[in-house]
Amino acid sequence: MSTGVFRKATRLFGVPEPAPLAKPVAMIKKPVMSHHAVTIVPGVKACAAARKLEEQRFLSREAPKLPLRNCDYPNCECHYVHHADRRSGPRRAREMGVALDGYSGEEKRGGAKRGRRKNDR
């Protein structure tokens, strides 16, 4: 059924037209930090278990709860330090200054128009 016929029928039978829908407001989403990580920073008087885990990064959802299960200090002062990513430091050879492919120049991809067709230029 076309919208013109619908409008005519609603006017004929006295049915009011539905109000126009409001434009949806774009929802602001918080960025999902799926690799959010924490490290455990031992307090001044920390147990051996906390000292073992001192340099290790954990995904925040997998980090052990503080105080640790086998912590033997009643007033544990250990705490978390938060990181945006589980990984630390450069990971790729290029990030470390090593050119594995023999090319050490800057990337030149993604320029204005690329392609082999005449209308791409």
Q: Residue holding tokens 């609603």?
A: 10
Predicted pLDDT of residue 42 = 92
| 116 part of a folded domain | no
52 belongs to a structural domain: yes
Collapse the DSSP code of 84 into the 3-class scheme (helix H, G, I; strand E, B; otherwise coil) and give the result: coil
Domain housing 36: 32-87
pLDDT at 112: 62
In a domain, 10, yes or no: no
* Domains: count for the chain: 1
The answer to whether residue 36 is domain-embedded is yes
DSSP, collapsed to helix, strand or coil, labels residue 41 as strand
pLDDT digits (tens, 9 = 90+) for 66-112: 989 888 888 889 999 998 877 776 667 666 666 666 666 676 666 66
Maximum alpha-carbon separation in the chain: 84
Query: Does 79 map to a domain?
Result: yes
Better-scored residue on pLDDT, 83 or 119: 83
Cβ neighbors of 73 (< 8 A, separation 6 or more) are 43, 45, 46, 47, 67
C-alpha gyration radius of the chain: 30
pLDDT digits (tens, 9 = 90+) for 31-73: 556 788 999 999 888 888 899 998 899 998 899 999 898 888 8
